[in-house]
Amino acid sequence: MEAEITYAEVKFKNASPTEEVEVTHVPQSCDKPAALQGNHTEWHCILAVHQGKGRDLKCCPEGWRPFQESCYYFSDNQMPWDKSQQNCSGMGSQLVVINTKAEQDFLYKEIQMKYQQKGKDFYIGLRAQKVGQWRWADQTPYNESAAFWRSGEPSNDPNELCVVIHHKTENLQNWNDVPCTTHSSRICETAAATL
């Protein structure tokens, strides 16, 4: 009986736990979310070091950015909030749910580095059914102490029930409520593959 051999060819740029590594082949047996299934041959990984438990790789396919336990996709095209959520869902993900200041900082830096000059705002997974009743796309309760609203926002306008990360800002406080029909880019999020 023949055994199938799978492997990962890993190129370490640096042994630091925060450095990215390139993986050119990911074993079919690894823990890959639905969004990451397919014929991806180029992966970006972060080496995760666990106290006393060794280390593993958190990987995302080409075009997705790894951070902690998740992969993030920054779209170039623009569409309304509902279509943005459907687009993310079609990739096995959802509009990003921001849980921590570290995650907000990561998203802010990505937008500043790559998209600020393009003048794009990005939908996140926060939406209200009624003014002030904010809810995340995955039904995570809204936590006001972990919100990053721009000064004067949310405006509590009944026509502005969806949220974008606004590109013109100098700090982490960059959320802005907008009409859900506004055409904006989006950030999708899914769990990273573990090697």
Structural domains of the chain ordered from first start = 10-194 (3.10.100.10)
**What's residue 117's pLDDT?**
67
| pLDDT exceeds cutoff 70 at 8 | no
The model's pTM = 0.79
Ordered DSSP codes for the chain? -PPP-----EEES-SSTT-EEEES---TTSB--GGG-S----EEEEEEEETTTEEEEEEEETT-EEETTEEEEE-SS-B-HHHHHHHHHHTT-EE----SHHHHHHHHHHHHHHTGGGT--EEEEEEESSTT-EEETT-PBP-GGG--BPTT-----TT--EEEE-SS-SSS--EEEE-TTS-BEEEEEEEPEE-
pLDDT at res. 64: 93
